[in-house]
Amino acid sequence: MSEPIPWLIEHSIQIAWNYLERTGELGNATEASRFLLKAVDEMVLKGERRKIMLANRAIEAYQRYRQAVAA
């Protein structure tokens, strides 16, 4: 059985956050939390329910965003 949507979102964001924090890519905490929430929320609304996939795609999107802002 799958976990409730709020838990799925929370756990996916936590996985992404932990990874970004460990690699030193987190940056501004407020900005990162808003970005990750929006990214995961949009994917869940489109039907994605795999926690690791949500986290990985949110990480990739955040890394691309940070590169674009730095350029």
Distance CA 58, CA 60 (A): 5
Q: Digits of tens for pLDDT over the chain (71 positions)?
A: 578 999 999 999 999 999 999 999 999 999 999 999 999 999 999 999 999 999 999 999 999 999 999 98
Distance CA 42, CA 62 (A): 14
What are the residues whose beta carbons fall under 8 Å from the beta carbon of 56, sequence distance 6 or more?
A: 16
Distance CA 45, CA 26 (A): 25
For the entire predicted model, the pTM comes to 0.93
What is the number of domains present in the chain? 1
Q: Which domain does 24 fall in, by range?
A: 5-70
